[in-house]
A and B are shown apart, each in its own frame.
Chain A
Amino acid sequence: MWGRIRTLIGKEFLAIWKDKKSRTVVIVPPILQLLVFGYAATFDVTHIATAVYDQDGGPAARDLVARFEGAPVFDPIVKLDRESEIAEVVDAKQVGLVVHVGSTFSHDLLGHPPAKVQFIVDGRQSNTALIILGYANAVLDSFNRDWAEAHGMSPAPASLVVRSWFNPNLLSRWFIVPGIVALLTLVVSIVVTALSVAREREIGTFEQLLVAPFRPIEILIGKSAPALLIGLGEASGIIALAVFWFGVPLRGSLPLLYLGLAIFLLSTIGVGLMISSLSRTQQQAIFGAFMFLVPAVILSGFATPIANMPEWVQVATVVNPARYFLEVVRGTFLQGMPAPLVLDLIWPMIPIALGTLGAAGWLFRHRLQ
């Protein structure tokens, strides 16, 4: 039996390897994509183009404006001369923030505080807008503190001290890069498996395989093993890049990460083979691959937290293997998650893997009319 399986595995490897285009497609893009996405996918906001419209021009207003100019995150800063220019620069997305100091600012500040300053942000990207408002308010807070001190106003009775665990500088790259490890592994395993049976069905070689003295379980192993090995190899490369290139700390247990990786790969390979054996044509297989891949990514918690989703969508994510593996990767990288917690996340992938692989094996024979 092992001899037959070895032959099958050899054949599958050859099928992927002999086609130069296919070989390149499977190996090069994931590595390139990690590099590009690792830099691209960030929620951090830097270099906020800022417009200042100072109608007051008094010393206090100039001091406030100077604080914006002094903060490196607000860059470049342009001065506006007319109120109508505000709409122009915001509409055309030339700036992310407009600081508008009204003409009565100094008068209000000295006469009857509080004076008002207006912050205008672009809600077309509301997440960015929120972050920009946070930065702008921090500048204003520092102005208020110094003003209160200089003018003998009473200080706050208590102060808030913020600390962030696992990611002290709140770098979104530390959050995103481990996520990309999970994402690319998912895509590679689906790309390798989703078309494999469908192609053979279309060419007719799958029928030959079925009439040969192979049992479905052997065909299943033959089809899964190369994908598993490619997935493991590729994931190792990506993990190495995350650690050594992007400098994301790997604090947890590497063996546990690989255990999670292997089971995750088995479950996605199962899905890929299931799609492939359900499809009559390669076109249908591609369609099926997208129908799985896209929701699996969006509903994995990669970019937007699962906790923000409505209840019924959260329930649907229970069958998504990417959701568990994503938590395993992030937990292992950043948190150094204790083993029992990691195992809690790994085991739900086992029934998914068994179910999808079993269904794929069954479909090998029963799909055939």
Chain B
Amino acid sequence: MTPHPDRELATPDARDGIARSPARRRWLRLHGLIRKESLQIVRDPSSILIAFVLPLILLLLFGYGISLDAKRVPLAIVIEAPSQAASSIAGSFMESEYFAPRILRDRRAAKAALTEGAVDGIIVLRADFARRLGSPDGAPIQLIVNGTDSNTANIVIGYVEGTWGKWLEIDSLERGAPMASAVVAEQRVWFNAELRSRNYLVPGLIAIIMTLIGALLTALVVAREWERGTMEALIVTPVREGEILLGKLVPYFVLGMGGMALSAAMAVWVFGVPFRGSFLVLLAASALFMLTALGMGLLISTVTRNQFVAGQVAIIVTFLPAFILSGFLFDISSMPPVVQALTHVIAARYFVSILQTLFLAGNVWSIVLWNAAALAVMAALFLGLARHKTRKLLD
């Protein structure tokens, strides 16, 4: 006989489980499981460390550590024969805030400095520079960069071209023959006018850090229960497999969201990254991503059923793939098509895109909704697979 719901409410402390409605029984079971997991978390503080201390340390370290903005580039300027023109060019590099130049007399010392990595580039003004200046071919100025770090080399080339262009302009004015360009470019960098790489790297880093945390929090928990045999103990109780997973998910979800909030707050108040989207959208997207990351950890844990292997898998499939394939540092649209297709299985990719847009551009729905939908699909997939695997293991 099914009890009347009103009666059920009237006697909330009834100990007789059979007398309760299925929904309430399910809730009580879930409540018990969540309580059990939460107690475990509190007793072994490593989860709390992972959720709060890890983002704090990593974000501080990376926020300051990762920067693509080369500043005060060490440069060697070789002046083979002193002349007024040569010192005028050298002067414009000395004055520029982008360079830390030193003047050398011969090329050999400069080349050694470049090989050692003591300078990032060499500017060579040859002995015949002053003589050939203004001749029909123009005097050649040689710039040699260390191509080992191609990205820095490109940045150095850009800086040198800029300083060089300015010198040409001033020089032509001084000679009374203004060398006007026909067309000048007006450059507009939207969303990040000063081109601070930190502004886009920090939101991306949050996605990487939360990937690690989500996987770390759950990758071992189910595996540990299997290893210790407590999973079997749980199974013989009337709880269902979905409830076991949900019971594990809820406390870690709360922890993970706490870490996320801390990271977002640090991005804005410590690193001064603008936040132009809405807080609610950030909250919703973070919740979806947290479910995906935790779901991945649960799946690893369920499939391996062994903490040792679960730990190894978690290290290998989370960190480097998220670091390299998420678009946080390396632009996805520049990757070969096959690799671009592969990036679709990296959950961090969607979250990086959402975070960069929310922080720097605002609520751009065409980006937010599409990526959020992808995250929802991945979360459902991971959690569904974890549940399916748990059920299969029971049979």
Contact = CB atoms under 8 A, between A and B. Distances in A.
Contact of A36 (B146, B151, B339): B339
Nearest to A309: B65
Contact of B183 (A127, A144, A298, A330): A144
A121 B191 CA distance: 9
Q: By DSSP majority rule, is chain A's interface helix, strand, loop, or mixed? A: helix
Interface string B288-317: 000000000000000010111101111111
Contact of A39 (B61, B71, B308, B336): B336
A116 B186 CA distance: 7
Interface stretch (A204-212, A228-236, A333-341): A333-341
Interface residues of A, number: 118
B144 interface: yes
B179 A187 contact: no
A290 B70 contact: no
A17 interface: no
B188 interface: yes
A143 B183 contact: yes
Nearest to B50: A287
B180 A341 contact: no
A39 B147 contact: no
Contacts of B46: 281, 283-284, 287
Main secondary structure of the interface of B (DSSP, over half): helix
A123 B195 contact: yes
A298 B320 CA distance: 11
B67 A115 contact: no
Contact of A199 (B70, B219, B308, B364): B308
B320 A183 contact: yes
Contact of B64 (A29, A140, A305, A310): A310
Contacts of A117: 183-186
A334 B148 contact: yes
B117 to A, nearest CB: 8
Contacts of A66: none
Given A113-B180, A123-B199, A157-B138, A294 B319 contact: yes
Interface of A: 19, 21-22, 25-26, 29-30, 33, 36-37, 39-47, 49, 64, 90-93, 96, 109, 113-131, 133-134, 136-137, 140, 143-144, 147-148, 151, 153-168, 170-172, 174-175, 183-184, 187, 190-191, 194-195, 199, 202, 281-287, 289-291, 293-295, 297-299, 303-305, 307-310, 313, 327, 330-331, 334-335, 337-338, 341
